[in-house]
Amino acid sequence: MRVLVLAASALLALPALAEMRDEEHLAGDRLVRITGVESMEILTVGPSEHEQMQVLSGADVEIVAFAADQDSVALLSQPVLVAEVTGTHSCEAGDARAYWVVTLGDPPAPEGPVTTCSELTASVIPGAVVLEADPMGAGEAWLWVSGKGWKGQ
């Protein structure tokens, strides 16, 4: 009986483990990694695989957007990424989410979080990153400006 309980527990844990897979992205001259460790994910950034700095961690870390291409860097004056960490607080309706802008300088710096119970989309405008629940203008919206931080709209 004990073996059956252990086998059932292992099968129930498989979907959670399947979602946690390591990722690697190149953003400008920076290597961005999300690594699963036990029941957490860790986002690290660095110039190489041997020089990584931990920037964020949580139950589920996702990169929502990169703004590291030449055009985006021209708009923001530096490469950045937008990350979402779920499960950071509780919500009556919707999933708890924390959004961060991570500047990809040396050292990388997380700015945030913006906490919400809504899924937000990210876009880049001259000098800022915009997070909004509805790109048509209705609902929650946030603006991140380099050196000034976050401002609700």
Non-local CB neighbours of 69 within 8 Å, separated by 6+ positions = none
| The pLDDT of residue 19 | 53
Report residue 91: phi and psi, to 5°. Answer: -130, 140
Tell whether the model's pLDDT for residue 17 goes beyond 70. no
Non-local CB neighbours of 106 within 8 Å, separated by 6+ positions = 47
| The pLDDT of residue 139 | 81
| The pLDDT of residue 28 | 86
pTM of the model: 0.81
User: Cα–Cα distance between 66 and 44 in angstroms, integer?
Assistant: 14
Of 138, 141, 139, the closest CA to residue 130 belongs to 141
Predicted confidence band at 147 (pLDDT cuts at 50, 70, 90)?
confident
Q: Mind listing the pLDDT tens digit for each residue in 113-130? A: 999 988 999 999 999 999
